[in-house]
Amino acid sequence: MEERQLAIHVKGLNKVYKLYAHNRDRLVDSLGLAKKKRYQEHYALRGVDLDVRQGECVGIIGTNGSGKSTILKIITGVLNATDGEVEVNGRISALLELGAGFNPEYNGIENVYLNGTMIGFSEKEIDEKLQDILDFADIGDYVHQPVKTYSSGMFVRLAFAVAINIDPEILIVDEALSVGDVFFQAKCYHKFEEFKKQGKTILFVSHDLSAISKYCDRAVLLNRGVKLGEGSPREMIDAYKRVLVGQYEEPEDTAAAGAAGEKPEESTTSDDGPACSRDASFDGMQQGINPHLLEYGTKEAEIASYYMTDDGGTVTSTILKGGSFTLHMEVDIHKDITAPIFALSIKDIKGVEITGTNTMVERAFLEGVHAGETVEITFTQKVRLQGGEYLISLGVTGYEGDVFTVYHRLYDVMNLTVVSDHNTVGFFDMESDVKVKRLERPLSVSDAHGKEKNGI
């Protein structure tokens, strides 16, 4: 199969900002009078490579300040790169800072034409799309009022409607799918899905990891301006969670690695990871245990074993919908911990977290533990999930003062297969009680006349 052409090509991208301690230093430097460097260099992006092919949906994730919005602004031409190559093949519509480019003195319709023209569309093309834009924004007669009189919700609705209905070849979105009320958000996601089905190229930034997992073909992880990796959304989301708790193994010289365009080494699970059970005769591979699970943590409390049983006590990872299962977990404690939290979560195979709980939420264990102890935890769950394959993750965390600490996390440690001959819509079954009743009612005059005419 022929490889799709590149829609976006980024190579060795650097964006450097000059940070001045005093305004006078900025003035001296701008006039070319400085005899020595009066500023510090801050790399918003360092040596970033990114290719997006036509028809792909690629997500960018990372902590605040990682360079996500900066790379989108450079690709769309809002910012200039310090170094590197940027090539875009196709007409772009960008949802960056919603409403950027709107004139507050113009009314809504005037701003539709202004914004559409700035994107590169003709007045005739905007004429053809105007009604779709107004219907999507759904702000009524306010569209004839100056946008400076709009509420923030009305403002972003109109901005989103313009960008999403202009019919671009490439859509670039920065944290814009969660604007407005829940009904408008549903409309935005529906439009987003339409774009995917039409084979549009999409590049977007979001802190909504479920959206990244659901819509993206690939994900890119940035941290402090450096690309840590790219891969499936599930892999990058798991890596991102490790970044959030400061347990991602970056290269010793992150800056040098980024400048050279090298990919930071990703942490993998060691071969001597936790056994599925202390019982050597237990065949974990036959019971849904993942030999390539992702684990990390301080190991001051360590998940030593885990397995699943059905409601009859049989060790298995296959459960009938409507039944229940119990997840058994043993944790070895290696230091005194004031308030450990033991957790279970369930994701679908795309990495979307569907449900989960922990001992703090359930108020099942609010005590301290001591070094040398072993704690057994069981989670018994009623299975209302639809038939299919799911992934289970386990964790031991806690707070040391105000600091959230991950002692041990095991991502996608084992699978859960739910068997069902009755699947409803969505992730889980609401166990509806549905009744249909025929109503006996008097015949109307026309019904009675019709029956007499037909000899009934």
**CB-based burial label for 298 (10 Å; 0-12, 13-18, 19+):** middle
pLDDT digits (tens, 9 = 90+) for 50-94: 999 999 999 999 988 899 999 999 998 889 999 999 999 988 887
Of the candidates 62, 63, 71, the one whose C-alpha atom is nearest the C-alpha of residue 43 is: 71
Strands 403-419, 6-20: pairing is unpaired
Q: Could you tell me the fold of the domain covering 284-419?
A: Coagulation Factor XIII; Chain A, domain 1 (2.70.50)
Per-residue pLDDT, 208: 79
CB-CB contact of 406 with 297 (8 Å): yes
pLDDT digits (tens, 9 = 90+) for 429-438: 998 999 999 9
Per-residue pLDDT, 270: 39
Per-residue pLDDT, 226: 94
**For residues 42 and 439, what is the distance between their CA atoms, to the nearest angstrom?**
74
Per-residue pLDDT, 350: 80
Per-residue pLDDT, 214: 80
Per-residue pLDDT, 194: 85
Please count the other Cβ atoms lying within 10 Å of the Cβ belonging to residue 374.
13
**For residues 360 and 366, what is the distance between their CA atoms, to the nearest angstrom?**
7
3-state secondary structure of 310: strand
Give CA angle at 431 (429, 436), nearest 5°.
Answer: 120
Per-residue pLDDT, 420: 87
What's the half-sphere exposure (Cβ side, CA atoms, 13 Å) at 409?
Answer: 20
3-state secondary structure of 59: strand
| Phi, then psi, of 93 in degrees rounded to 5 | -120, 125
Q: pTM surpassing 0.85?
A: no
The CATH architecture one would assign to domain 6-90+169-259 is 3-Layer(aba) Sandwich (3.40)
Provide the H-helix boundaries in 247-382. 254-259
CB-CB contact of 143 with 136 (8 Å): no
Which residues does the chain have with pLDDT short of 50?
1, 251, 253-275, 279-286
For residue 14, give every residue at least 6 positions away whose Cβ sits within 8 Å of its Cβ, in sequence order, or none: 43, 45, 46, 47, 48, 81, 82, 83, 84, 259
Of the candidates 282, 266, 265, the one whose C-alpha atom is nearest the C-alpha of residue 274 is: 282
Domain segments of the chain as ranges: 6-90+169-259, 284-419
Per-residue pLDDT, 215: 84
Per-residue pLDDT, 179: 61
